[in-house]
Amino acid sequence: PLYFLLPYFEQVHGEKGATAFKWQPWEQICSSKNIPRDILDCFGSGSATSTSNSCKSKNSQLRHLFEVNDQYGDDMILFKFQKEKALSWLQKKLTKVELIIRVQIIMDRKRADNHLDTKGDSNVGAFSSSFRLPEEEVEQSQEQERTNLADENNSNAVSSEIRDKANDSIVRLALNAVEEASMHQAAAQVVCEYLSPYWRNGLLQSIF
């Protein structure tokens, strides 16, 4: 739902405006920005039936885009929008998409090398919005590492080390220059599909 909020926080009067976004209670921000009820409902806010847990969940999500000041207690939590935090959050989303596409490219290449690809072409440059992380391959790798490390560490340490090694292995998957360019372009396309021109340009300028 954070994507739905971004269009309401565009600095249309230039980038100098340090005072463009002030410390305000969430309800006041929603009112001044005329944020629709449907969007607010995604956060479980703006409702008389909102619970303490839903408020905590909302605040946790909003911290990706806002500075949060709770020094006055739960009844007076103040928020201040930060463009830098929003761009950082978008960059993290982009990185996650790139990781998925990186694995997809490697799996396509592996299938082609094993002659399992019926078309005989991995079509690296092509992109489908329906791509998925090959969970079976990752699970098999994790299971193997779990077996190898079981005698060396206790169960908690094993689980942690497996996760770290699995993530490192995925990040280190080598792509050639063409594949890297294809990956970056496809990932940017996915994320930018959800963004207004203002935020699309801001994200692209921050990464290129």
Look at residue 135 in the predicted model and tell me its pLDDT: 46
Look at residue 157 in the predicted model and tell me its pLDDT: 47
pLDDT in tens, 144-194: 555 554 444 444 444 455 455 555 555 556 788 888 999 999 999 999 999
**In the numeric block, which tokens belong to residue 159?**
């689980």
Prediction pTM value: 0.65
Instruction: Give CA angle at 17 (16, 18), nearest 5°.
Output: 100
